Amino acid sequence: METVQIHPISCGLGYAFLIESAGGLVLVDCGSPHQEKKVLAAMDQLGRHDLKLIWITHAHYDHYGSAAALHVQTGAPVGVHPADAEALRAGRSDLGITRGIGHLFPLGLGIANFFVSLPPVNPEVLLEDGASLTDYGLAAQVYHTPGHTPGHSSLWLEDGTLIIGDLIGQDSRARKQSLLATDWQALEESLARMQALKPRRIYSGHSSRAIPGEEFCSL
């Protein structure tokens, strides 16, 4: 089994995850706009600059905000599920149906965009459900996990690690996503599908903490 290390990077409103393996680096998400220096600094600290792919879990401001800048500075292609590709090209975040304090998110997004606009980026790599990342140096598989956005996807590594974007929420503990979705039923089905994998550890999009598999599967 390939040895990988996952380096969480706080990037504004969200987290990026730099996956280090013998085959190169893969970046999962990249936070808000103007966070590229943090990712580049993490690469400098590792002494590696062989970034093979910038893979975006879903088309929200706090997950692909620095993708365009990182693409320019590293030359690495940007990848996403086809259902979210047009949003990236348009520099758009589609929040869907909000619940609870999620009702405040459209206002917050509008304010954020007013001060720091979301740069569009052209995803050169479109990854459907079941796609492998072996061409990018990583033994990992993409799972389409729609609900939060139409193209929301998760990444399964062969060591049992699952990186799931905003499929769930996370405070001090993991919790079900209860704020934003474009399809709440699809969200529940996607969560059940990922729980059936019985992952060893899980990283979600707004924390550096690795969630134990038992905690995730009990949601």
204 lies in which domain range? 5-217
Tell me, yes or no, if the pTM score tops 0.75: yes
Q: Which of 158, 145, 126 is nearest to 191 (CA)?
A: 145
- What is the tally of structural domains in the chain? 1
- Contact call for residues 200 and 160 (beta carbons, < 8 A): yes
**Can you give the CATH number for the domain in which 72 is found?**
3.60.15.10
- Contact call for residues 206 and 169 (beta carbons, < 8 A): yes
pLDDT of 67-98, one tens digit each? 999 999 999 999 999 999 999 999 999 877 77
What single letter denotes the amino acid at residue 2?
Answer: E
pLDDT of 141-195, one tens digit each? 999 999 999 999 999 999 999 999 999 998 778 999 988 899 999 999 999 999 9
